[in-house]
Chains A and B, each alone.
Chain A
Amino acid sequence: MEIKRRDFLKVAAAGGAALAAAAHPALAREPKTRIKDAVGFLYDSTVCTGCKACVSACKQYNEMPASFSTPQDPLWDNPLDTDSKTYNIIKLFKDGTGAAKDREKDGHAYVKRQCMHCVDPSCVSACPVSALTKDPVSGIVSYSKSACIGCRYCQLACPYNIPKFEYEKAFPQIRKCELCSHRLKKGEIPACAEFCPTGATVFGKVEDLLVEAKKRLQYKAGSSQVYPVERLGGKATAERIVTPYVQKVYGEKDGGGTQILYLAGIPFEKLGLPKLEERSDAHRSETIQHTIYKGMIAPVVFLGGLLYVVHKNTKDHK
C-alpha cells in the first residue's frame, strides 16, 4: 500500500477519538413513549360489516373528490387503496369461496386502512423540513404543505405506506388522514367514527381504547356483550354476539406503537398489516445517525484534524 502507515494512523486516530466520544450511550436517542391524552380509534374487524359509510363520510367531511379506478366507467368512488383523494378505505380479505366472515379458509374479513398516527412516526423523523409533525397533546400526526418540499421521503419511510402524493398535479402535496382535527376543534369526533353504524370504529383516548381492546380479548366467543358505538363513554351502544379474536391488539407495540388499534378474527398479516418489531424504524435510524453526529462532535473534531493536516501539506505549495 502506498499510503504511509504513519499518516494513515494519524487520521484514523483522530476519527476514532471522535467516534468514541460520540458513541456514549447517553447521546443515543431515547425511544418515544405514548402521550397521555393521545386520541385514536379502536377498529374491530369482527364488528365491521364492510358498509363503507366511513369511506363516504371521510370523503364528505374532508371535501375530497371521488377516485375512479375504472376510468372507462367513472361511475363509482372506488379507489384501490388510500390515495391522493382517499384518506380512509375499507379493504376485503377473501379466501376461496369467502363464505364465512372472519375465517381464514374460505372466509372473508374487512380491514379499515388510514394513517396510524404512530407513537414514534417514521414520517416525522424522516421529513427534512418538519412538514409532518406530531401534536404533543393529541398525538395526531399533521401535515403542513407550506413547509413541504415534496421530496416524498415520508412515503418511503412509512411502514404502512400511508402518505400519498399528488403525482398527477403540477403543484402537488402529500395527502393523508389527519384524524379530522378540524372536527375535533369544534368538539365533534372524526367522521368515520361518527358514521360507523356498528361500532367497528370507535373514537376515544388511546389509553382507554387499549383497556377496551384487552377487555374484548377476554370475552367468551358466543357470549352476548355490549359494545360502544361511535365513541367510548358515549350514549350509543350495540349488543352483539362475540366471535373469536386473534389474541393480540395490533398497534399496542408494533413499530413502536400506534394510536389506531386493531382487533381481528384472522391473522393481521392477512389483512395487510405488516409484521413489525417493537423498536420503531425512526428509533433505529436516529440512533445510528446520532451515534455518529450527536452534538456535531465527531465532524468538528474530524474537521480540526483535517485543517491541520491539509494546511501542513499545502503550505509550501503557494
Chain B
Amino acid sequence: MSEESKPLGGEVLTKPFKVLAGIFGFAVLLIIYRYFRGIGAVSNLNDGYPWGIWIAYDVVAGTAIACGGYSMALMVYVFNRGKYHALVRPALLASMFGYTLAGASIMVDIGRYWNAYNLFLPGYFNVNSIMFEVAVCVTAYIVVLWIEFSPAFLEGINKYKSGLPKFVQNWNVEGLRTTLNKWLFVFIAIGVLLPTMHQSSLGSLMLIGGWKVHPLWQTGFLPLLFLISAITMGYAIVIFESLFASVGFKRASETPLLGKIAGVMAWLTAIYLAIRFADLVIRGALGLAFQLNLQSFMFWVENALYVAALVFVAPPASRMQSRSLFLGGFFLLLAGTVYRFNAFLVGFNPGNNWSYFPSFAETMITLGIISFEIMAYLYIVKKFPVLPKPEHA
C-alpha cells in the first residue's frame, strides 16, 4: 500500500497556484463582507429562489464530483479489485477537499450559522427532514474522509518530513499509524454506506418541492437517479483528474486502468439513462421535453452531454486512448453537474414572476472556494505520498 505512492515534489508557488490564490483571496474578502452585511449583499438569492449556485454547485454538484473516494472504495474494497488500489489516494484527496469545502459553503450559505449545532442536538433535529439526514451524513462523511486519508498524512510525516514545515517534522506518528491500519476497514465500510445514503438523499431533497419542480425532473426516482449518477461521476473524476494531473505534472498516465474504470462508468450511465427515460415515459412527462422553452432546452443539453460521454467511452477501442477517456470523463462530470443544476435551479419555478441568476460576488465566492480546493490539492500531492509512483502506471 504505502510503497505505491510518493510526493510529487516540486515548486508549490507556480503561476497557476498564484492565480488561484488571487481568486481565493478576493473570495475571502467577499465572504467576510457577507458576514457583516447579510446574504443579500453578496448574492441574488431571494424568497422565490432561496437556493442558488452555492447549493446547486458547491454542495450538490460539488459533492457528486467529490465521489471519487466513494466510487473507488466500492471498486477496490467491496468488489475487491485490488489492481486499482494506486488510484485510491488521489481520489480520496479530491473527495476530502470536495466534501470539506461543500461543508464550508454551507457555513457561508446558511443564515443563522451560529445555530448549526442544533442539527446534532436531540430535541431539535427532525428525523423526517431529508435535509437533516443529508447534513448529518455529510458531516460524518467528512470526518470519515479525513480519517481515510490520514494514512497518507501520517506516511508523509514519517517518511517525507524533509519536505514539510518544521513543526510537523517532530511529530511521532508510528503508533497512530498502526492503530489506524487495524481499524481502517471500519471507516472504509462506513465510507461506502454514508455516500450511498446522502447522495441519494440529495436527490430526495427536491421531492418536497412538489409542483415547483418541473415534471421533467420531479419524480419518485430522484434518489435512485442521483445515486447512480453520483457513482458515475465518482469514476469520471478519477479518470479526469488522473489524466489532467499526468499532463499538468508531465507524468505518464495510467490509461489501461482508467480504461477499465471507464467501462464500469459506461455501463452505469446506460442504466441511468434507461431508468431516466423509462420514468419520463411512464409518467407521461416526455412530451414536455418538446416544448420550446428553457427547461426543455436544458433537458436536452443535460442528456446530450451524457450521450457525448458515452460516445467517448462506450466503444472499447476508445477506452484505450487517453484523449477519449479524458473527454468522456469531462463530459460525464458536466452532464451530472447540469442534471443537478436542472433539478435544483433551472427546473425550479416558484411562479413565473420570480427570477434568479447568480450575482458577480456570488459566483466569485464559488470560484474562490474551487480555487482553494485546487490549491490544497496541489500542495498536498507535492508534499505527501498521494500520487502513484510512475512504475505503477
Residues of chain A touching chain B, judged by Cβ–Cβ distance below 8 Å, are 1-4, 7-8, 11, 29, 81, 83-84, 122, 125-130, 145-153, 155-157, 159, 161, 164-173, 255, 272, 274-276, 281-282, 284-286, 288-289, 292-293, 299, 302-303, 306-307, 309-311, 313-315, 317-318
Contact = CB atoms under 8 A, between A and B. Distances in A.
Contact of B204 (A128, A147, A156, A288): A288
Interface string B129-143: 111110100000000
A159 B211 contact: yes
A1 B129 CA distance: 38
Contact of A310 (B39, B77, B264, B348): B77
A149 B126 contact: no
Contacts of A276: 210-211
A84 B47 CA distance: 9
Given A169-B38, A288-B223, A128 B189 contact: no
A130 B121 CA distance: 11
A111 B220 CA distance: 33
A274 B212 CA distance: 10
Contacts of B80: 4, 7, 309, 313
12 contacts: A127-B126, A129-B118, A167-B47, A168-B38, A169-B38, A170-B35, A173-B111, A173-B112, A274-B211, A310-B77, A310-B185, A313-B78
B317 interface: no
Nearest to B189: A306
A156 B51 contact: yes
B112 A310 contact: no
A1 B45 CA distance: 45
Interface stretch (B18-26, B154-162, B192-200, B245-253): B192-200
A110 to B, nearest CB: 18
B188 interface: yes
Contacts of B133: 289, 293
A318 B77 contact: no
Interface string B89-116: 0000000000000000000011111011
Contacts of B128: 29, 125, 282, 286, 289
A309 B76 CA distance: 11
Given A170-B37, A306-B189, A318-B182, A288 B51 contact: no
B1 interface: yes
A84 to B, nearest CB: 8
Contact of A125 (B40, B111, B119, B208): B208
A156 B49 CA distance: 7
A310 B111 contact: no
B357 interface: no
Contacts of B315: none
Nearest to B124: A129
B119 A129 contact: yes
A169 to B, nearest CB: 5
Contacts of B112: 145, 148-150, 171-173
Contact of B47 (A83, A127, A282): A83
B283 interface: no
A250 to B, nearest CB: 15
A306 B78 contact: yes
B258 interface: no
Closest 3 CB pairs of A and B: A150-B111, A167-B40, A150-B112
A183 B193 CA distance: 49
B276 interface: no
A288 B196 CA distance: 15
B125 interface: yes
B180 to A, nearest CB: 11
Nearest to A146: B115
B210 A127 contact: no
Interface string B68-81: 00000001111111
A147 B115 contact: yes
Contacts of B182: 318
B11 to A, nearest CB: 34
Contact of B208 (A130, A148, A281, A311): A281
Contact of B185 (A84, A145, A284, A311): A311
B113 A149 contact: yes
Given A281-B210, A310-B77, A128 B111 contact: no
Nearest to B117: A149
Contact of B207 (A8, A165, A275, A285): A285
Nearest to A151: B110
B129 A128 contact: yes
B129 A317 contact: no
B165 interface: no
B348 to A, nearest CB: 8
A153 to B, nearest CB: 5
Nearest to A83: B47
Contacts of B50: 152-153, 155-156, 165
B36 to A, nearest CB: 6
B208 A285 contact: yes
Nearest to A315: B185
Given A156-B209, A289-B204, 10 more contacts: A126-B208, A127-B131, A129-B115, A150-B113, A151-B111, A153-B205, A161-B47, A255-B210, A299-B197, A313-B82
Contacts of B220: 284, 288
A149 B115 contact: yes
B175 interface: no
Contacts of A84: 47
Contact of B125 (A126, A128, A151, A168): A128
A289 B45 contact: no
Interface in B282-302: none
B44 to A, nearest CB: 9
